Amino acid sequence: MKSVTRRDALKTLATVTALAALPDVRTAEAGSALVLSPAPSGKLRHSACRWCYSKIPMETFAQAVGALGVESIELLDPVDWPVLRKYNLTCAMAKGTTTIPKGFNRLENHEGFVASMTARIKECADAGLPNVICFSGNREGMADEQGLENCVVGLKQIMAVAEKSRVTVCMELLNSKVNHKDYMCDRTAWGVELCKRVGSERFKLLYDIYHMQIMEGDVIRTITENHPYIAHYHTGGVPGRHEIDDGQELYYPAIMKAIVATGYTDFIGQEFAPARDPLTSLRESVRICTV
């Protein structure tokens, strides 16, 4: 049995203390799902990306986010989906099978990814999940136009099953300046052009506000002009990908209002690495993004 260090004990105490400070959460009876607080009043729904809170056990985290009115935990594999159902949560963006460096921009990857993404789309459909993430892959010397052409070839092979399953495949826009050197889908214009060429309502973009602020800025106008090609949004403070409060350069209340103005009423995924108590930061981010 693993011994408990003083640091471990303090972490556990901090998590318990944070949970105790959350809005009222009750269980109807032992072993039953939690009676969750209602979602915050607003036009957007709230989601949290699991990797940002990986130090909190999955079930503990599921209880905590439900108490905050957060309805989704994102970027999970199917093995974790039963925990979501237990606590009346969903996964607004399921984890796909491509990776950031290895994606659809190389023809040699297509055979494996077409099969694995097809299977994952069907799993999402069976679980009632709306979106699954995918990536372009790194350039590795490839021209962007060639990458577009290759991505179209691969993605079109999974669109029929995505359309039949009513699951949207979302390619994430990432910055190649700070975090993901050489990543190809690093500009909104490139991603939008890919959407147009694929030509399916079941292929769209995951617009990561943090990443696109680093790459191109002009976030509100970009969202306003390109929202038909965007299925989901992620947050993060710039620089550093920490809290989205007034300690960073983006003003998220205005960004959220601009998103709502496009007619979007789905999930905003909080994807920042907390620099303080994680549940306190998540609660604050939900407040900031409730418009």
Domain of residue 86, CATH code: 3.20.20.150
CA distance 155 to 135: 11
Q: Is pTM beyond 0.95 here?
A: no
Domain presence at residue 8: no
Q: Which domain holds residue 191?
A: 44-288
* DSSP reduced 3-state for 8: helix
Q: How many domains does the chain have?
A: 1
Domain presence at residue 152: yes
Domain presence at residue 30: no
Closest alpha carbon to 201 in 165, 174, 172, 225: 165
The pLDDT profile of the chain, 291 residues, written as one tens digit per residue, is 333 344 444 444 444 444 444 443 333 323 333 344 455 668 999 999 999 999 999 999 999 999 999 999 999 999 999 999 999 999 999 999 999 999 999 999 999 999 999 999 999 999 999 999 999 999 999 999 999 999 999 999 999 999 999 999 999 999 999 999 999 999 999 999 999 999 999 999 999 999 999 999 999 999 999 999 999 999 999 999 999 999 999 999 999 999 999 999 999 999 999 999 999 999 999 999 999
Closest alpha carbon to 257 in 268, 249, 270: 268
Domain presence at residue 93: yes
Domain presence at residue 151: yes
Closest alpha carbon to 94 in 128, 139, 59: 128
Q: Are 104 and 204 spatial neighbours (Cβ–Cβ below 8 Å)? A: no
DSSP 94: B
Domain presence at residue 202: yes
